[in-house]
Amino acid sequence: MSSAIDDDILLDNERVTVRRVGIAPRVAPRSLLAADDHLWVIIKGGLLKSVTTGREILWREGRVLWCDAPGTILDDMRNDGSLELEIVAVHLKPQPRHSPPSIPRHAYLHYPNIPGEDLLENEHVIVQRFVVGPGQWEGVHAHVPNMLFIHIKGGQWTARSKYEPPQVYDQPSPDGSVGWMPTIDISEEHQSGNAGSEPIDLIWVTLKG
């Protein structure tokens, strides 16, 4: 690791900037405080300890936290574990105000074959978690606009639709990798499956507005 806090841009578009942040042991990550609304997803968890009170907080892999600007949750904390703590931070970019659409542009993702876990919903985002077992297919589903995925635990994906037979991706998705999902109508009969030997643990973030 080149410094106490590693900070890399994973994705940047007109809606979000997504950062991967690695925090070394014994480091107080105050520099993560941001002036915008953002979501944190814990990729590699650990212990955070209050410098003033000594209270320890366990952050497990897959935990999500919403931080209203300006965030202060890390003001008094440091990484008290022996390993690097890894966070994916999703920063929302300001959008022009407009009249609400007559049909909502956001919705909960529905995998017919896999029940999801609802982690968080507020006026900005819907956050869900799915675990896709080896050999398991999600079932035919749609993707609404403005969705991104974050791998807590990556793996080897395959995909199919009414236009394409099953195709295994060239490379497995690493832990902590992210991507922006194109809009897909249910009529395309799209679904993905786990072609690997270990479960894939996946966070979906749907932006509102």
Question: What would the pLDDT profile of 82-130 be if each residue is shown by its tens digit?
Answer: 999 999 999 999 887 765 554 456 789 999 999 999 999 999 999 999 9
| Secondary structure (DSSP) of 61-82 | TT-EEEEPSSP-TTTTEEE-SS
pTM flag (> 0.85): yes
pLDDT the model gives residue 73:
57
Q: Which amino acid would we find at residue 135? A: G
Cβ of 93: how many Cβ atoms within 10 Å? 13
Highest mean predicted confidence (pLDDT) among 21-30, 94-103, 152-161? 152-161
pLDDT the model gives residue 37:
79
Query: 119 or 35: whose pLDDT is higher?
Result: 119
- Residue 32 in 3-state DSSP? helix
Mean pLDDT, range 29-39, rounded to an integer: 67
Mean pLDDT, range 186-193, rounded to an integer: 97
pLDDT the model gives residue 102:
46
- Residue-range domains of the chain with CATH: 5-92 (2.60.120.10), 117-207 (2.60.120.10)
